[in-house]
Structure 1
Amino acid sequence: MTTLYTGGRIHGGDLGGGLGGAATALAVEDGVITWVGTTADAPPAAATVELAGALVAPAFVDAHVHATSAGLLRTGLDLTGAGSLGDVLDAVRDRVRAEPGVLATGHGWDETRWPENRPPTRAELDAVAGATPVYLTRVDAHSALVSTALVDLAPATLTAAGWSDERPLTRDAHHHVRGAARDSITAEARRAAQLSFLRHAASMGVACVHECGGPDLAGAEDFRELLARSGPLPRVVGYWGAFGARPPGARGLAGDLLVDGALGSRTAALREPYADAPETTGARYLDAERIAEHLVACSEAGVQAGFHVIGDDAVGAVVAGFRLAEKVVGEQALGAVRHRLEHLEMITEEQAAELARFRVVASVQPRFDAEWGGRDGMYAQRLGADRAAGLNPLAMLAASGLTLAFGSDAPITPVDPWATVRAAVEHRTPGAGLTFDDAFAAHTAGGWVAAGETGGTLEAGAPATFAVWRGETCVRTVLDGDTIYRGESEGAE
């Protein structure tokens, strides 16, 4: 059956020139676009959708999400707006009073924006939590505030790397308490969180998300359930951040396979110490040899490999790992499967050019710069303003030949594709931003390339995957011809 979308402004992927365009209609049959042109020349159709002047453009792809965690943020404690240490303690106190003894989860606190410039101690958290387990991740999700009641559920935490009596937990200690918190979440709550997140993504014009799962994140059961979801929802491309066997349905052994941590939690691996903590250079979890082994194994199996990499020491280890892997499998085999690197915030022009030679995909998050860049942001606090100015060099990455794929890293930043595009264009470091067209392409076609698929254009023969917009409000999202979201304000059908 042919469906005709008519009376809109159809854009094939190049949105420059103020979002103008000549095409006003497109026809869809069996999930494929069969025709694009003017309404007057439209072919006959069994069904018609009147667009009433709305913009139709390729749907967005969010190339890095954590679906269940992002969904839980919608039902747990959203601490992204907390303006002080006291705000966090008040939120925990209120939740514990409402649901005593039930795990209280939350996310998004950022002490660098508070007048105290420090997070609560465990004693302060225990004073309001009592016997209720509490798990509150920092905005970068690489450290967490936890109550003693939660630590008691994960006794291995006490002897693990990253343990502290006073400070937020990091490294292995964080993994242990995260596992205990995860085990306390019911299967029903987990499934509801997934569904809530996916429906929200569809309402934002997102037709595909790349889930970055792993054994130390949401776990294998969560990953299987997410990939098995069906119905009018965005497509989920799953990446499993681990070595060894690839779970059924996983696109690759990639995503958040950690080479290091995050700058906000001071676990990103640096060549020089943190400016605000000169006693540490962060944490590097993998060396070049282990990185190379994974690249070789995945290249030989024809499977995408990939790593979470942020700090300049970690980037150096990854580049060295690619060089070692090249000696084993060669440049062609190494580049054939388009290995991925997530975040890639501290990278030189020479390193970018070398990674481009191996056809690496840079899965990056422009809103990191919008949130924490600039001469007075968190990056500048952690690194000093001069060092921070070189972070997230989007223009340089694109010029090097790397394929860019944009994501939110939800729940780290919200799923809001237009805000992501703006952040890429309006980079806080002069000269580091992209053109509008390049930023839009990175959030549409780039995501499909990153997953080894085609998409991101609206032309005859292309998948019928697009979103319909009135301003920046999505009124319909279509995936392979099927409507996965329809807003109340959309025109007649």
Structure 2
Amino acid sequence: MVWVGQDGPGRALHPDAEVVDLDGAFVTPGFVDAHVHATNTGLHLDGVDLAAARDAGDLLAAVRSAARPGQVLIAHGWDETRWSHPRLPSRAEIDEAAGGAPVYLSRVDVHSALVSSALADLAPGVTDLPGWSDDGPVTREAHSAVIAASRAAVTPEHRRRVQETFLRTAASLGIVSVHENAAPGISSEEDLAGLIELGTRPDLPEVVGYWGATGQDALAVARRIGARGLAGDLLADGALGSRTAALHEPYTDAPATTGNRYLDAAQIAEHVVLCTEAGMQAGFHVIGDAGVSEVVEGFRLAEKEVGRRALVGGKHRLEHVEMVDADQAAVLAGYNVAASMQPLFDAHWGGTDGMYATRLGADRAAGLNPFSTLAAAGVPLAFGSDAPVTPLAPWESVRAAVHHRTAGSGISPRAAFNAHTRGGHRAAGADDGITGTLVPGAPAHYAVWEPVELVVSAPDNRVQRWSTDPRARVPGLPPLEPGAPLPTCLRTVRHGEVIHSRD
């Protein structure tokens, strides 16, 4: 980008420039989605959407209509907490609906799934793994095994097609860069390598790849395929919806469990030290309060090995970090650890009557996804979708971060927008201060949106950090009140090349 300002000086400085009349449209920096699963989302876009199911009968009807003999059916999105009756279908019912086809049906959080017997047969030994259920959802190691079996049945040509579908969909929403959170058990080395290669094409969004594994072998994989780090979905714990996020106190609706912890502080520290010394970003998927405590302690142990300066320079990151308190946020900020978060989690499952409250009780649920606490502590925020867990919808995510379902946990529109644009670039290591902005010298990553009335606002005068006076020339944003229409993307540009045009 070489000029931002009035027409006259711009035309004088660049007399041969092509002129595009936007006819009242407005321009913003392009969005970054800091947490995606491209192949899974592409398969979802290309296949059956189970989010519309409202009971077991709906789910079985969807399977019956989509299953084909001899072909694996991969579908996503069921959420029994929103059903009229929470009973899940039995494996026998799924087998009957599938007509003998291998079927993998992931829950909305992708930490558990319903499967057919034919799919289980494609994963030898799965019935002996932790998390296997003879009739209900499979979780933990058994879930990883059935994911691997279902993905192995997807041909390379099909995989590349759905990855490209995903990237073109992202571009149509003003997204110029995505962070792929790949890991053994939910993806593959070949899957990530192919996606990173697609992201080098000038007509598609950038792909920043993360490989969620640890050890010297994983380091070699990351370097070979061009991954940015050993981060993303390296699981410290699981998910609240599947009751696998690690908690200090039991789940309210399942008092016999506190979830699952997959890594302890010593293992976390070992990984952070490995990545810091190798010049790689480290990171972890962590949701529950016991998981967050373990990760914070792991960083403290790592500091003893490599020192604070090296740890800060590593620009490490955490995914989700939903149950974090102010003291932990201060520790993470001191280590320059970014929080990659998903505002639509709160929009979908927050509040006094949502899934969080069902799983944890209203008091604990009220403390989830505390964007304001993290921002006040100085933790760099990067927003994303975790697609296909929630949809690619950046403006909706910005609105959800502003209008948090717990009073006081939201942030200003400008802070939320920055977290979904320049914050994503920063979380991937681009900390030059200009990438993700519209200033001379910045990479030309931007989106053009249909005309709307722009406003300069903040949700609370106590946290407003800029003037709303038009003479201050603070860039406005579209109205983000609940129910207000959100902008439609007309054009998306990455490094000066058009990657989406509605025309």
Structure 2 length as normaliser, TM-score? 0.89
Q: Distance in 2 between matches of 1:113 and 1:217?
A: 25
SS at match of 1:62: strand
Whichever structure has more strand as a proportion of its residues is: 1
RMSD: 1.0
Find the aligned partners of 1:291 and 1:180 in 2 and give their Cα distance.
28
Q: CA deviation at 1:317?
A: 0.3
For structure 2, list consecutive stretches of 5 or more residues without a partner in the other structure: 453-486
Between 315-324 and 243-252, the greater mean CA deviation after superposition: 243-252
Tell me the equivalent position of 2:476.
Answer: none
What residue in structure 1 maps to residue 469 of structure 2? none
SS across alignment from 2:228? strand
> Is 1:183 equivalent to 2:183 in the alignment?
no
Q: Distance in 2 between matches of 1:415 and 1:118?
A: 29
The SS at the match of 2:106 is: strand
Give 3-state SS (helix, strand or coil) of 1:154's partner.
coil
Match of 2:355 among 372, 378, 382: 378
Match of 1:110 in 2: 79
- Per the alignment, residue 416 of structure 1 pairs with 393
Which residue of the partner structure matches residue 80 of structure 1? Answer: 51
For residues 88 and 170 of structure 2, what CA distance do their matches in structure 1 show? 31
Unaligned runs of 5+ in 1: 1-32, 489-493
Which residue, out of 222, 240, 261, partners 1:284? 261
* 8 Å CA contact retained: 1:343, 1:365: yes
Q: Deviations over 1:318-345 (max 9, x none)?
A: 0110111111111111110210000000
**Structure 1 residue 231: Cα displacement:** 3.6
C-alpha deviation, 1:42, in angstroms: 2.5
Structure 1 counterpart of 2:272, one-letter code: L
Does residue 466 (structure 1) correspond to residue 434 (structure 2)? The answer is no
Task: Output the CA distance in 1 between the equivalents of 2:69 and 2:120.
Answer: 17
Deviation at 1:435, TM superposition (A): 0.3
Q: Which moved more, 1:227-236 or 1:115-124?
A: 115-124
Corresponding position of 1:22: none
Give the equivalent residue in structure 1 for 2:2.
34
Instruction: Say if 1:64 and 1:209, in contact at 8 Å, map to a contact too.
Output: yes
Q: Which residue of 1 aligns with 2:482?
A: none
For the pair 1:234 / 2:214, whether they are aligned, the reply is no
The residue that corresponds to 1:13 in the other structure is none
| Offset, 1:85 | 1.4
Answer whether contact 2:235 2:286 (CA < 8 A) is retained: yes
CA deviation digits over 1:102-132, x for unaligned, max 9? 1111000000011221322212211211311
**Which of 445, 469, 482 lines up with 2:497 in the alignment?**
482
Point out the more displaced range, 424-433 or 447-456: 447-456
Query: Which letter does structure 1 place at the counterpart of 2:8?
Result: A
SS at match of 2:46: coil
Write the mapping of 1:124-143 to structure 2, written as runs, cut at 5 A. Answer: 124-143=93-112
Q: Whole-Å Cα distance in 2 between the matches of residues 189 and 484 of structure 1?
A: 22
- Give the corresponding residue for 1:67: 38
Is 1:457–2:437 an aligned residue pair?
yes
Decide whether the 8 Å contact of 2:202 with 2:497 is kept in 1: no
- Following superposition, the deviation at residue 271 of structure 1 comes to 0.6
Identify the residue that residue 57 of structure 1 maps to in structure 2: 28
Distance 1:120 1:282 in 2: 23
Equivalent residue number for residue 337 of structure 2 = 360
Q: Which residue does 2:379 correspond to in 1?
A: 402
Match of 2:18 in 1: 47
Per the alignment, residue 305 of structure 1 pairs with 282
Q: Secondary structure at the match of 1:237?
A: strand
Higher mean displacement: 319-328 or 241-250 = 241-250
Identity of aligned residues (%): 60
- Matched-pair contact (CA < 8 Å) for 1:112–1:118: no
TM-score (norm 1): 0.91
Give the equivalent residue in structure 2 for 1:254. Answer: 231
- Aligned equivalents of 2:423 and 2:286: distance in 1? 19
> Does residue 1:91 correspond to 2:59, yes or no?
no
What is the distance in 2 between the residues matched to 1:346 and 1:134?
33
Q: Distance in 2 between matches of 1:176 and 1:130?
A: 22
Which residue number corresponds to residue 472 of structure 2? Answer: none
- State the shift of 1:443 in Å: 0.3
- For 1:192 and 1:317, how far apart are their aligned partners in 2? 39
